[in-house]
Amino acid sequence: MTRQPPRPGPSPEEPRFPPASDVLSGETADVYFERAQRILAAERMDPVVTMEIFAREDGILCGAEEAISYLRRIFGTAPTHDPTPVVESLTDGDAVAAKEVVMRIAARYSAFGLYETAILGILSQSTGWATAARRIVEAAAPTPVIGFGARHVHPSVADQMDYASVIGGCVGASTPAGARLAGLAPTGTMPHALILIFGDTVRAAEAFDRHIDPHVPRIVLVDTFKDEAEESLRVADALGDRLWGVRLDTPAERGRVTAALVKEVRARLDQAGHPNVKIVVSGGLDVERIAYFKEAGAPVDSFAVGSAISDASPIDFTGDLKEIDGRPIAKRGRIPGRTENPRLRPVDLSA
């Protein structure tokens, strides 16, 4: 499946990732950061510190833009800072190595120390999703992959997960919120529920074709009632050139989608005069399952992948203080002072 048309992004006044009030208030922070803040204020201690953030393993960085959105709000709404905070960062989509510094923040500790939990959590979860997506995309290449993982995560993070899947290389995402973050239109057509309610795949497909905007690709599920090859031909005959493709999502109870089934559907569509109808495969796909289809030479035009991306483990990130008032410092086991990384770029905090 080709990348979907772009959707309007946020207005210039609205950040792509609007900061959440409970994060800004510190309610989602580890409580010891709030206690440290109170203690330092009571002792009248507020040094300028340099914090470096790095990943524990290789991955595809994601979450940097969202973390920077918080830093812009934090530094922009606080009293005038002396000195001016400085942030350097890598960019979402950058491949990063274990222990590589991906972000550096230099400011008074009171200005941002409370938000270490949030920044690390954003980077950890999003980078885990993006890295998993990249593994899937590389396994499927050159066949495109769309992200269908929203049903496997809490809805409060479904948009970030979809965005991360696109950062990892997916050409589309299923939720409007996630696709909007990525600058795309959402990808997806009809659920099995619609077909079950109509009682017939062709009737559901025709209703979809009547009522949904013409720019939305007509992709029809063909595993609900009848044999997948038979349903593919029925739908192709009914919609003709308006049919973009069929989706095979055969459940495990019936043996899942197989390479042989894909080959049969392709052959029957071609023989019936529908060579332009694409085949989308979904249902429990992961790196190994995609490799099976590739090795078997199955003519899949697009893979739709959910839990193999959404269930990815976070990639741990750590934030270390490396300077206090210009003096190199570090906990035992780490080297005091700034870690050189010429890939870091200055961040415009006024944007």
Range of the domain at 34: 21-127+313-346
Cβ atoms of 97 and 58 within 8 Å: the answer is yes
Q: Give the pLDDT score at 63.
A: 97
Residues 82 and 154 in one domain: no
- Whether 13 is covered by a domain: the verdict is no
d(CA 82, CA 292): 59
Is the confidence at residue 4, as pLDDT, over 80?
no
Is the confidence at residue 12, as pLDDT, over 60?
no
Mean residue pLDDT of the chain comes to 93
- Whether 11 is covered by a domain: the verdict is no
Residues 79 and 225 in one domain: no
Residues 189 and 300 in one domain: yes
- If one counts the domains in the chain, the total is 2
> What are the residue ranges of helices labelled H in the chain?
21-24, 31-42, 64-77, 109-112, 116-140, 158-167, 176-181, 192-198, 201-211, 228-239, 259-271, 287-295, 307-310
Lowest model confidence (mean pLDDT) among 8-17, 184-193, 279-288, 321-330:
8-17
Q: Give the pLDDT score at 11.
A: 46
Residues 221 and 254 in one domain: yes
- Whether 2 is covered by a domain: the verdict is no
Residues 240 and 259 in one domain: yes
Q: Give the pLDDT score at 78.
A: 53
Q: Give the pLDDT score at 37.
A: 93
Residues 276 and 322 in one domain: no
Please state, as a whole number, how many other Cβ atoms lie within 10 Å of the Cβ of residue 79.
Answer: 6
Q: Give the pLDDT score at 189.
A: 85
- Whether 119 is covered by a domain: the verdict is yes
- Whether 351 is covered by a domain: the verdict is no
Q: Give the pLDDT score at 188.
A: 87
- Whether 289 is covered by a domain: the verdict is yes
Q: Express each pLDDT in 108-127 by its tens digit.
A: 999 999 999 999 999 999 99
Cβ atoms of 246 and 265 within 8 Å: the answer is yes
Q: Give the pLDDT score at 81.
A: 66
Q: Give the pLDDT score at 121.
A: 97
Is the confidence at residue 79, as pLDDT, over 70?
no
Residues 302 and 185 in one domain: yes
Residues 90 and 230 in one domain: no
- CATH (domain of 95): 3.20.140.10
- CATH (domain of 150): 3.20.20.70
Q: Give the pLDDT score at 10.
A: 47
Q: How confident is residue 340, by pLDDT bands cut at 50, 70 and 90?
A: very high
- Whether 245 is covered by a domain: the verdict is yes
Q: Give the pLDDT score at 80.
A: 64
Q: How confident is residue 2, by pLDDT bands cut at 50, 70 and 90?
A: very low
Residues 275 and 159 in one domain: yes
Residues 85 and 145 in one domain: no
Q: Give the pLDDT score at 350.
A: 85
Average pLDDT, integer, range 329-350: 94
- Whether 288 is covered by a domain: the verdict is yes
Residues 158 and 279 in one domain: yes
Residues 255 and 337 in one domain: no
